[in-house]
Structure formats: structure tokens, C-alpha cells
Amino acid sequence: MCGIVGYIGSKEKKSLILEGLKELEYRGYDSAGLAVLKDENLHFFKAVGKLENLQNKCLSFSSEGLGFAIGHTRWATHGKPTEINAHPHLGEYSCVIHNGIIENYKELKEELEKEGVSFLSQTDTEVIVQLFEFYARKLGAFEAFKKLVKRLKGAFATLLISKKEPKKIFFAKNAAPLIVAKNKDETFFASADAPLIGKVSDVIYLEDLSYGYASEKELIIYENDTLKLNSFVKLANDKLYAQKDGFRFFMEKEIYEQSVVLNEVLMGRIEGESVVFDELKDEDFKDVEELSICACGTSYHAALASSYLFTRLSKIKTQVEIASEFRYKDAIIKENSLFIVISQSGETADTLEALKIAKKKGAKTIAICNVDNSSIVRLAHKCILTRAGIEKGVASTKAFATQVLSLWMLAIFIAQKKGFDMSKELKALRHIPNVCLVPQKLHDKIHRLSKRYLDGHGFFFIGRDVFYPLALEGALKLKELSYLHAEGYPAGEMKHGPIALADSKLYTIALMPELCLYEKTKSNVEELIARDSTLLCISPVEFELSDDFIKTEKQEHFMCEFFEMMIIVQLLAMEISIRLGNDVDMPRNLAKSVTVE
């Protein structure tokens, strides 16, 4: 999830690009770069790290007069955050910036290398500029650009400038946001509203499969190869509102964008009927006898959920450790074991120390993390990036979702290495982004239901199998946001003590998937109903005894039910918190990255 901006006009371009990137830095903070094409001279600057590093690099550069400029702030998906991998990516006389993932970049790269084209970076983006210049050997600039766009598969919002046509910016958009705006003498591009506020009043939100070019006087847009009449709409004028994309809270926005980020987790990692991880291509897991997963908080719940999948799919004995406890238990780590750590930030102190201990004991280590070049990523032998993008809400939503999906894919990856048939799992994987779309009717119902759950003496979230960790996560979300007491339990454990609390003011949220121990869970729920507990049941199967009921869709795989119920418990916690008047994005006493013991 990267940020892109572009500009055509006579104002000082460096300043405009840097201002725009500052508004988008939340979308990527691994590296940044800009390029200016003026009087057929191409100037570019790139820097690793925060945007201020790029500002320092181009302090002495100025660009008054008509020119064409593009800028990018990067969140790494292919290749480490280095200057070579930073955008813009350069050809001999052109450069490009890109947000998204080109799924077929390997195929395109191999094709170009056979034609003698050399690549400098490890990124998928470089194929765009190299393919453009390859086609431009025989075609005009726009024809070459059109031809390359038709070859791209995946998600992309891209801007390209070239000495081949020095008075145009070429653009294309599919499954990644791109906005264009035009004043009398200026044209602007951005991947979100915020950089445009105060500069323009009307914009065009490009549709998927759009491409075109802009010059000083023209704006040409094709959609599905059909020339489109430019249809502008009013731009909001509140920057905070724009950053939230119109949602009330960042957390709400992040719940809704889970479908998009989960699609990004999958991109480039499924080839035919196989899960592929470039990061692990040289690893052989056939001899792995035992797996330990170590994490804290929400990441611990993702670990616990994945333990069911590693055991079931990969046939590996799996144990899950709370990092703060693992540090002091003098754990035994066997030869031929795999040690996985999970952290959103990559700086979680307890998890980092646990990783150091595991490495010292000789374990092979993998980090599941959202931030490249973080301490945990640098220390682990291998890393799988979760591609969630920055998460501003302190209570995690999309980071949890991407962790679970990444771990599920890893379980499938190892299972396939062992020769197991994973076709059913792959079919379910591909369906997950659709499962995580939020229907407005569902959100409206949860909003209405939430008013009934503002008092009482506590909540139980219950589930069985992989839905037990989801119950733990649902309870944690409610605690974090509402400050109400909530606990997650395995449904079968209620009769072993906790049921003593059951009465009409004990609210139970029951996760009742049809495809995973439904009858067993139903029996446990009936035990609570008999003790007069107030029940909110979540299931695709109608259940008349519940006080409140949220009907989910019929699915073909229990993990599809898992992700659908995940959305529901997140929304429920948020809506209860909003009714209580709490700050959803910044709950009391909590920090986003826990860097102390």
C-alpha cells in the first residue's frame, strides 16, 4: 500500500510533490522518491526511510516553469527498502511509480531478459518501465503504454513520464486507487484525497481498467478501451475526513478495507494450484517435526488460530507460546523444529527477546510481520510480510486478518511441500477477500443491536476449534474499545466453572459455524440459555432460542466462516464503544507498538 502523487504545471514542483507525499506517508514509510521532467531533462531523487530523508536529498533542487513531476512513498512488498528498490524506477529515458502488485511480473521479467533487457531492482514495478521502453522501440509513447497496460495482471495505479514524450504523464489504474484533477493550467494525481485538498475543487475517481495521459492542455481517459467523457465530482475539503475516506474512525475504515488488503496478501503468492513464497523458495520443510509460534496480544490469537491449521493441514505438532512467558520458562527447542514469531510492528519487546532466545538455541526462525526492516524482521532467518499497510487504529483489525491469512497460507505451503492435496484450501483462500466485504445491511443491524449491550456485568465470547481464538480476539476487541469486562472461552469449557456467572445480565456472543462442530457448540449454547444468559448467536443456521441472531452466509469452508465472523465481532466492539462515547481509534492506556517489557 504505497502513496503516489503527480503534477503538471508551472509551480515549484519539488515542493508540491513533497507536500503531497507528506499527506500520504501513512501509506508507506520504507522509502520515498520523486522525479521531475522539465525541458526534456529528467531529474530524480530517492531516499530510504522517512520522507525527511528525501527532503534533505533534494534541498538544492528547484523546478520553476512548466514541468511534469511524480512522487512516491513506499511500503515494501517486493524487495527490501533500499534506494535501488525505491520508486521512481528508471529505464534509459523514462521513469515510473506504482502502487499495487504486478502478479505476472516474473513472467514479464523473464521475457524481457531473454530480449537482453537488464534489471537493477528486486521489485515488480521495474517491469513496467522496462516493458514500456521495449515496446517504445517500435511504437509511439502512448501506443507503447497502452500495450504494456494490457500485459499487466494484478493491482496497479501507475504514473509514467518519459523523454520519448516529454510533455505528458501517462497513467493507468486497476484495483488500486488513483484520482486525477485538473484546474485551468494544472493537473494533479494522487492515490487519496488528502494531497488534493486546497489545490482543486473537482476530481475524477478513476475506475478499474482505466488508462490515459495528461498534458498541459489535455486529459484523455480510456475505460475498458473506450474513450470516456471526463466526469468531475466535488472534492471534500476536510483533510482528516479525507484520510479516513469518509469513515467516522480510522478503525472503521480499516475494518472495511480488509477485503482489499487480504487480496494484497494473496497477490503473487498463488500460482495455479500452489501457494508460493519467494521468501521461502530455498527452504525445505519436509523434516520439520515440531513448530512453535510465539506472540503477544492480538498476534497471539492469530498464532493460536493458525495452530489448528498447521496441525490439521501440515501434520506438524504445534505449540503456541505467549512471548512474555516464553522468555522465562527455559523452553526446550528440539532439533528440526521451526520457530515462528508474529508482530505487527516488528518491535514488540517480549517477542523480540523470545526470537533471540530461539535463535541462540539453534532454531530455524520465521517472522510474520507488517513492517519490513524492523528489528524482528532483521533478526529472523526468514520473513513473511503481511502487507496490511499502516494501521492507525490502536485496536488491531486488518493486521490480525492479514496475520491469520498469511499463517494459513504458510500451513498450506508446508503441506504441499509434504505432498498433501490442498486444492480445497486454495479454493477457500481465493474466496476470502469477497467474504470480508462489509454489507451495509449487516453493519446497520450490528449498529441497532449494539444498544442492547451497554450494561450488564460482563461478556462471554465462546467458540470451538479455530473459533475459540476468534472468541478470544472478539473479547479483546470489546475490552480494548468499550472498557467493559469480556472473556473468550472454548464453548465446551463453560460447564467447568464459568457457567456459574450465567444470568440475564451476562451477555454471551456465540460463534456457531455450520462447518465446524456446530452441534457441539449448539449444545453448549443451550446450557447457557437454560441458565438465563442473554445470547447473541452468529451463525448461517437459524437458531430460534437466541435472544439476538446475526445470520451469516452459507460457506463451503470453515475458514470462510471464520473471516466473516471476524468482521462481525470487530464491528460489534466498535459500535458498542461508539455508543459509550469512547475514542475508538485511541483507547485509554494502550499503545500501538509495545516496545517495553
Kindly list the catalytic residues: 2, 592
Q: How far apart are CA 244 and CA 107, in angstroms?
A: 37
Q: How far apart are CA 283 and CA 483, in angstroms?
A: 44
Closest by alpha carbon to 27, among 71, 76, 75? 75
Closest by alpha carbon to 83, among 47, 37, 59, 51? 47
Closest by alpha carbon to 418, among 312, 284, 292, 317? 284
Work out the widest C-alpha separation in the chain, in whole angstroms. Answer: 80
3 state DSSP class of 46: strand
The amino acid at residue 193 is D
Instruction: Determine the angle formed by the axes of helices 398-417 and 297-309, rounding to 10 degrees.
Output: 30
Spatial strand order in the sheet of 548-551: 486-490, 458-463, 506-511, 534-539, 548-551
Q: How far apart are CA 322 and CA 285, in angstroms?
A: 24
Q: How far apart are CA 320 and CA 300, in angstroms?
A: 8
Q: How far apart are CA 309 and CA 404, in angstroms?
A: 10
Closest by alpha carbon to 294, among 321, 276, 327? 321
Handedness of CA 38, 44, 49, 52 (dihedral sign): negative
Residue 380, all three cell numbers: 529472523
Q: How far apart are CA 519 and CA 528, in angstroms?
A: 15
Residue 88, all three cell numbers: 521512481
Half-sphere exposure of 8 (CA within 13 A, CB side): 25
Spatial strand order in the sheet of 67-74: 41-48, 31-38, 67-74, 3-9, 187-190, 179-182, 202-205, 233-234
Q: How far apart are CA 288 and CA 471, in angstroms?
A: 30
**Residue position matching grid coordinates 450488564:** 456
Handedness of CA 385, 387, 389, 392 (dihedral sign): negative
The amino acid at residue 365 is T
Q: Judging by beta carbons within 10 Å of its beta carbon (0-12, 13-18, 19+), is residue 110 exposed, middle or buried?
A: exposed
CA distances from 554 to 49, 263, 359, 434 (A): 45, 21, 44, 13
Phi-psi region of 224 (alpha: psi -120 to 50; beta: other; left: phi over 0): left
Phi-psi region of 595 (alpha: psi -120 to 50; beta: other; left: phi over 0): alpha
Phi-psi region of 121 (alpha: psi -120 to 50; beta: other; left: phi over 0): beta
**Residue position matching grid coordinates 485538498:** 197
